[in-house]
Structure 1
């Protein structure tokens, strides 16, 4: 089974495998803070090795204190807190039905209960269990539900973990002291609670480690990936790493200093610089061409902003000459943008292109290319009405550019080809040239008796021999 089959099951477009979806629920509850594509991929890779986690710590008191300290008066437990917190965001998601929105809350709760070890001995949280979630998910698009639920659980879990960093419960019994001690020592390597996590930079990665590497942040993409040892850290140590990574993201998420250069006539695009270094070129529609490196989300948005400005500039060049872009398909608009922003055609040339909203993409592209080469409007217009093949149109264009053909000649060739489909432009031109040559000769020598006698004996096109060699008259 591959990822696509799993996604189709979640979307309910094929019959569902209950055991597989239940296994995914358990796996998702442990890894809901991962990126969705990575979560799916790792589940498919590791699903045969998935084991339900054993609860060794309990955070009922801590989570309850978090809820009590929240600004929501109507929140009195994790369920009501999740409902209130998620309400605003869910109201904006029209693609989810009311039942799917309720399911989002319950899946997020199951994720949180798993993360903070609030499940009972049967693996339930209040009335929520994998069985109840699967029962309620019949017909639902679980891809949408799970992605929203995971985002909601991730946001709430971060708030809880932030709260726990400063939360100091009153210890009334030795049992509480033991719980806290256990929390600090559940670590893969039994590392001392006083040993600091170290962070180092390796290329584009920031790596957190104790004796071994625990987690890493890619500063270019902003994505975090946890290594196996991370899963055995205490909650506080995990959050120490996440907090540091968030700090790095914030420091590096400031608006980048991208600079738009002057139009490059050789590349026919606009260069974008990062400081003094070339980052990329932007095409006439604002899209990037061959990025020098991967961009962060903030950088992508900044580059998109510059790209939009370039696209708007080129659109205005078109609208100023009376072109209604709404009359053209998206592919045609792309060619018109190139005509204005890449080839920098004159206004009269742009207006000519804008007069043919029914033209094919091929016709528009060829006309744009020929206008850039300086072909006259009269000859360019031939290509908008012609039914010749692309190869034949290119032959006509070549002949136009080399002054070997008039527009009238091209139109006559197309008519003749309609009667004789296998006629080539080369053969047609050859016949035309012979006819023109004969006409010139006839006019020049019509009154010369000697020439006339020779032509009577040896007509034009006939073969004669001289010293053993054959010549055409």
Structure 2
């Protein structure tokens, strides 16, 4: 398994191997303070696999002291603290579902319990264990969940470690002098240094370097007073962070998303619902907030266009709402096309998604309506759509097939249609495809069943045929998610150069091709192996 396989598994775009996922969760809990790219790379290369946490005796007392010193109200243990602290940040991430937000908290707690050795004899902390995490998030994008959870646990871990640097258990025999808690700690800035004071200077923060230094009187403060200073300094660090220079680019037709740039460098793509496709690097809290503003703006624009057409999103389920937003922001459909989709809230998710893609291809509304109201299976609908696109099937024929299908559930469209149509017409149609030299050229480079990379995902080539449209060739791709229509792409090309720009042979196909050449020539065994391309990632 390579890096791309792991990321696809985490995104649920390929089946998840629970044993492999268990190994990754265990490794992540020991290395959550690494940046995401390094964590993935080190896990795949086996770096740090032998790391084990150092046992610490009676560490619960220190964690309890940290929680009690917290300024958060109503928290009694680390679980409450993580939930309360993390909720504030998660409220700023509308892209995550509630299930994903809950899982973020649990993964972060698992990380912290591993770091500070808080598990009970059954290997659980507040009923959270490796087994419970593996049973959750089947449909969640675990790349987003794990990255955010790692950031949360890293922040809390650093706060705990900072607290422990100055924490000393109370000694009954001799009580140290403690500063008067009724007095207010003051903060002032002098030449780039923030100074905390209370009848004398206590601590200093260099806003340029971000480093903190404590003065002798700081040690006489109570735990809440120390935490007040540390919290204030954390806020100052955020306020002095570099103001992000994020800008929104023009719609990218090839990616079907909106790019966002950091200066002149691509940062990420945003989908029609505002969710991030890929992040090129980790973000600070200030940068996350800036990107969230752009994300919300895109979602609002697409939502408002539907509302202007009096299409009520509330009439559609959550998944269908996403399809409608894609129709606006991804496929850029016309108003009359959107009105057609909006008139069928009772249509299935599959039918609505297929109808959206067919409208993008320019299919007339009468035929698209057939898909919105049909009860055929996805495979049958695809075959009817293919026939419609070739203009060799009428709406009446499609309706007749659906009626026949109700009487004979095992009936296949292709066989049924062959019985209904003149066999000679099929022969002529097949001959038309054979007369197109581009079909043969494409099949020579991409035989049926070949795995190719398209827009960052792997697909299998399942059809290469003459489109019957001015010499164009139709190439149909399909990936593991055969039930998600928008994951299966149909390309129409006029030249070999066009398809070569869009499709790239997967690494495994390149290696097979190379091995065949080597066997054929029985020479040049020095040829280097191809390596798979590395996909960039998000916080």
TM-score (normalizing by structure 2): 0.44
The structure whose RCO (Cα within 8 Å, separation 6+) is larger is: 2
Larger CA Rg, structure 1 vs 2: 1
- More helix, by proportion: 1
TM-score (normalizing by structure 1): 0.49
